[in-house]
């Protein structure tokens, strides 16, 4: 078996990669800081944030307020936009020097890209797209929960020999903690050494797609194949309740709704206070995306549908027959 650059004996501390864009830390980085803070407190480990960019020093203070004990800050004009080569070079050098035990990154497009590259360079394992994290009781090894084999199983993965233990975690899996501006921490500026070969990609333009952010929604009205493509009542209900419309992959693949609305293994992980699931069968690929919802109401015309196993309240009926009077009654109540 290939050996990693260093082993468990030399490894120490928990790291979170602080992804930034447009002068802000990504929400998932703050969520990871909150989760990693709990892991660090459990093991008396130091929590380090790794922040790269250009002119991003203020974000290091945000990371401290959200729980970091130390921030390694690498700044260079070449790091202004995320690019695989320069970012991977700087982070690999930092890991080789400081030897963290655990390294967590957000499962965003950039985070996934960087994590894969780092794992290969560091010759360690990577548990990608985790839907939960914990520490094993006796060994204190990191346990990453992922759906595996096409969603057929829920697997818990650990990395016993190689370091760092790396994982990417999907946005919305954990909650962001309240910032504590009085926290003090060590912000260390690190040397950024780049080579000419790191400069093979030039970013010409960056276009941000506008879309819903279901990871922050408090109320979600989600529809599946049972809607037969008619989301109008779901949209009305979502608007009345101040929520957002979500969907299964079937509904997205059919072109009934945008991909930014997809919930599940290959969509978004959500944690709303209320999720109303309409015409959805309850496949595990979907339910992993709503399992952290506070209250789930399922409406399905098939009383045997699997979705009822995942719901707090179930209505075995045609979704249109249920939603129409519900929308009318809420409208009447709001008009009074």
Ligand X SMILES: Cc1cc2nc3c(=O)[nH]c(=O)nc-3n(C[C@H](O)[C@H](O)[C@H](O)COP(=O)(O)OP(=O)(O)OC[C@H]3O[C@@H](n4cnc5c(N)ncnc54)[C@H](O)[C@@H]3O)c2cc1C
Q: Which residues pair with 133 in a beta bridge?
A: 144
- Which one of residues 86, 264, 272, 314 is an interface residue with ligand X (CB under 6 A)? 264
Quote the least distance from Cβ 21 to ligand X, whole Å. Answer: 24
Between 128 and 251, CB nearer to ligand X: 251
Site residues for ligand X, 191-250, by CB under 6 A, read 224-226, 248-250
**Distance (Å) of CA 261 to CA 106, 238, 245, 299:** 19, 13, 7, 19
Tell me which of 302, 309, 312, 328 binds ligand X, using CB under 6 A: 302
CA distance 244 to 220: 5
Distant-in-sequence, close-in-space partners of 135: CB < 8 Å, separation ≥ 6: 39, 42, 43, 141, 142, 143
Residue reference for tokens 């830390």: 25
Closer of 238 and 251 to ligand X (Cβ): 251
Minimum Å distance from CB 59 to ligand X? Answer: 31
Q: Who's near 116: CB < 8 A, 6+ residues apart?
A: 126, 128
Q: For residues 36 and 288, which CB has a smaller minimum distance to ligand X in the complex?
A: 288
Whole-number Å distance between alpha carbons of 33 and 147: 23
* 30: three-class secondary structure by DSSP: helix
Q: Which is closer to ligand X, CB of 159 or CB of 263?
A: 263
Candidates 72, 319, 323, 327; binder of ligand X (CB under 6 A) is 319
* Binder among 121, 183, 216, 285 for ligand X (CB under 6 A): 285
Q: In this complex, which beta carbon is closest to ligand X, that of residue 131 or of residue 248?
A: 248
Q: Is 38 or 291 the residue whose CB approaches ligand X more closely? A: 291
Work out whether 286 is an interface residue with ligand X (CB under 6 A): yes
For position 262 contacting ligand X by CB under 6 A, the verdict is yes
326 binds ligand X (CB under 6 A): no
100 phi, psi to nearest 5 deg: -65, 155
Tell me the closest approach of the beta carbon of residue 67 to ligand X, in angstroms.
30
**Contact with ligand X (CB under 6 A): which of 280, 293, 296, 323?**
280
In the complex, minimum distance from the CB of residue 173 to ligand X, in angstroms, rounded to a whole number: 14
Q: How many residues bind ligand X (CB under 6 A)?
A: 28
State the pairing for strand pair 165-169/313-315.
unpaired
For 297: left if phi > 0, alpha if psi spans -120 to 50, otherwise beta; the answer is beta
Rounded Cα gap, residues 58 and 62, in angstroms? 7
Which of 151, 194, 259, 292 touches ligand X (CB under 6 A)?
A: 151
Q: Which is nearer to ligand X, 14 or 299 (CB)?
A: 299
For residue 328, cis peptide bond before it (omega within 30 degrees of 0)? no
Give the H/E segment covering residue 234. helix 232-240
- Note whether 266 binds ligand X by CB under 6 A: yes
Q: Are 81 and 206 in contact (CB under 8 A)?
A: yes
Q: Which residues bind ligand X (CB under 6 A)?
A: 150-151, 224-226, 248-251, 262-267, 279-281, 283, 285-286, 299-302, 305, 318-319
């Amino acid at each position: 078996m290939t050996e990693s650059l260093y082993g468990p004996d030399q490894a120490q501390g928990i790291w979170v990669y602080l992804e930034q864009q447009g002068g802000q830390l990504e929400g998932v980085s703050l969520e990871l800081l909150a989760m990693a803070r709990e892991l660090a407190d459990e093991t008396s480990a130091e929590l380090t944030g790794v922040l790269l960019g250009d002119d991003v020093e203020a974000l290091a203070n945000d990371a401290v307020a959200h729980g970091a004990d130390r921030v390694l800050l690498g700044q260079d004009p070449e790091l202004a936009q995320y690019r695989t080569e320069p970012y991977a070079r700087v982070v690999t050098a930092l890991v080789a020097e400081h030897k963290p035990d655990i390294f967590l990154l957000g499962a965003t497009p950039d985070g996934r890209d960087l994590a894969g590259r780092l794992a290969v360079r560091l010759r360690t394992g990577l548990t990608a797209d985790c839907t939960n994290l914990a520490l094993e009781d006796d060994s204190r090894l990191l346990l990453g929960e992922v759906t595996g084999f096409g969603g057929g199983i829920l697997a818990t993965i650990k990395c016993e020999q190689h370091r760092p233990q790396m994982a990417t975690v999907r946005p919305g899996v954990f909650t962001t903690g309240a910032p504590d501006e009085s926290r003090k921490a060590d912000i260390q500026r690190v040397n950024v050494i780049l080579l000419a070969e790191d400069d093979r990609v030039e970013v010409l333009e960056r276009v941000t797609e506008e879309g819903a952010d279901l990871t922050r929604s408090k109320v979600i009205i989600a529809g599946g194949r049972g809607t037969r493509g008619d989301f109008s009542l779901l949209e009305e209900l979502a608007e009345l309740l101040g929520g957002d419309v979500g969907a299964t992959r079937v509904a997205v693949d059919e072109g009934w709704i945008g991909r930014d609305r997809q919930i599940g293994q290959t969509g978004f992980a959500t944690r709303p206070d209320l999720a109303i699931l309409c015409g959805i069968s309850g496949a595990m690929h979907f339910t992993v995306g709503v399992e952290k919802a506070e209250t789930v109401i399922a409406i399905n015309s098939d009383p045997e549908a699997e979705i009822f196993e995942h719901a707090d309240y179930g209505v075995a009926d045609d979704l249109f027959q249920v939603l129409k009077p519900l929308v009318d009654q809420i409208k009447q109540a709001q008009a009074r």
